[in-house]
A = this chain, B = another copy of it.
């Protein structure tokens, strides 16, 4: 699996046809696998999407390269506008050969409530639990050790990895992927203070995960106090991420690892949030906004704006502040020098012709 070799080989021209690219060089080159530019060996194809990696073009042992520009490469190349997407398509071709095939049906060690409704071709792996009145759609796979609570609805063609917990009433769409340890529908963090005591606010809302969403390992989406916490279609969420109660995350967003979004915040569509960023509660982030890694968002972000830093500001402003902060030692010296020179002028004046102006 490390040094991956597919079950069959392809000619370079076949791969070019698949991705819709143009071959420069020998289209008959035989490709048996895929690898990163530094690790690739003869027989493998690699790609360059980030110019940073062009320096490896001369030394890579790959037999062919997918690239977005007309580079003068010492080896056969597939040229195409979106080389990363083309690489993905080639990877998919080979990945099919190595994908784990989870046996369909219910493993004898799984515990499925008789009232649960399983679709066609479902796989319920070892030591899974499917609760009362839960529904699992066609072709969905619960790999093993998955806990599905009461009245949960899971769509079709989903892939749910071990130790995922889907609490009662959660709704999961189609073609959703939940990496190991994901928690959907844990109670939101809500307490009402009465005297010194924090009383738990019951969390009777639910979580809705729409189609084509992916959630990374050990990420959490809390159920709503009332109503819904919702992650919309096509959004991709990395590992160890916190989505609090009553949050809405729009369509086709990308949220990097260890970011957190506080309660009742609304994230628009096509938003990108960097790793370890935090977004406060009751905030609106507009469509196509971007939040930098480790940023702390304390107020609304307008659509298509890039923000960074803490407290988060428009990125150009934040960058200028970082630059000015870096120049602070010099500024202190300049002010000290100004004080010295001004004192000199004043003292000069005091003893000179303009001394009469001295208070």
Hey, which bits of chain A sit against chain B, CB under 8 A?
1-2, 4, 34-36, 39, 50, 52, 82, 84-85, 87-88, 91-92, 94-95, 98, 100, 107, 109, 111, 125-127, 129, 143-145, 147, 149-151, 161-163, 165, 167-169, 171, 177, 179-181, 183, 186-187, 189, 191-194, 196-202, 204-206, 208, 214, 216-218, 220, 222, 225-228, 234, 236, 238-240, 242, 244, 246, 252, 254, 256-258, 260, 262, 270, 275-276, 278, 280, 282, 293-294, 296, 309-311, 313, 320-322, 324-329, 331-332, 334-335, 338-339, 341-342, 344-346, 348-349, 351-354, 356-357
Please measure, in the bound complex, the distance between the C-alpha atom of A216 and the C-alpha atom of B36, giving whole angstroms: 29
Can you tell how many copies of this chain the complex includes? 3
A226, B342: Cβ atoms closer than 8 Å: no
Please measure, in the bound complex, the distance between the C-alpha atom of A154 and the C-alpha atom of B4, giving whole angstroms: 20
Given known contacts A2-B208, A216-B222, A218-B218, what 5 new A-B pairs fall within 8 Å (CB)?
Answer: A1-B205, A129-B162, A198-B252, A240-B260, A311-B322
What residues of B have a CB within 8 angstroms of the CB of A324 in the complex?
328-329, 332
- Chain B residue nearest in CB terms to A246: B36
What residues of B have a CB within 8 angstroms of the CB of A278 in the complex?
258, 275-276, 293-294
* 11 CB-based A-B contacts, threshold 8 Å: A87-B201, A109-B111, A111-B127, A129-B144, A161-B167, A165-B181, A220-B240, A240-B240, A328-B328, A345-B346, A352-B353
A167, B180: Cβ atoms closer than 8 Å: yes
Please measure, in the bound complex, the distance between the C-alpha atom of A226 and the C-alpha atom of B250, giving whole angstroms: 30
What residues of B have a CB within 8 angstroms of the CB of A4 in the complex?
204-205, 226
B165, A180: Cβ atoms closer than 8 Å: yes
